[in-house]
Amino acid sequence: DIQMTQFPSSVSASVGDRVTITCRASQGISTWLAWYQQKPGKAPKLLIYAASSLQSGVPSRFSGSGSGTDLTLTISSLQPEDFATYYCQQANNFPWTFGQGTKVEIK
């Protein structure tokens, strides 16, 4: 199985800050990576697919980059509604696997 390690596991940030979350795969996954946002009690929401493609309706302050083993999600200017937990997920090989999550908290 491909292990997905996210870091940091949590980050405290202020509105307007730039936040970067990294997902490291235990082996190369090309660009078969998605990023999701989850708020408490809600289903995850797809933000980014294929490492860098913005899902329809997602604000442009979210962006993804990278390929291979190190991929990143960047929020360019954190907004109040962005405080949530973020997960990466690889779709290069079965079983599909998720990172453990990064909680973005208010500073």
Partner 1 sequence: QLQLQESGPGLVKPSETLSLTCTVSGGSISSSSYYWGWIRQPPGKGLEWIGNIYYSGSTYYNPSLKSRVTISVDTSKNQFSLKVSSVTAADTAVYHCASVAAAVNAFDIWGQGTLVTVSS
Q: Kindly list the residues in this chain that would bind partner 1 in the complex (CB under 8 A).
A: 1, 32, 34, 36, 42-46, 49-50, 53, 55, 87, 89, 91, 94-101
Cis peptide before 80 (omega within 30 of 0): no
Q: Which two tokens stand for residue 101?
A: 């999550």
To the nearest whole angstrom, how small is the minimum distance from the Cβ of residue 15 to partner 1?
A: 26
To the nearest whole angstrom, how small is the minimum distance from the Cβ of residue 65 to partner 1?
A: 16
The residue among 72 and 89 lying less far from partner 1, judged by its C-beta, is: 89
To the nearest whole angstrom, how small is the minimum distance from the Cβ of residue 100 to partner 1?
A: 5
Q: Is the dihedral of CA 35, 89, 32, 45 positive or negative?
A: negative
3-state helix, strand, coil in the chain (%, to 5): 5, 50, 50
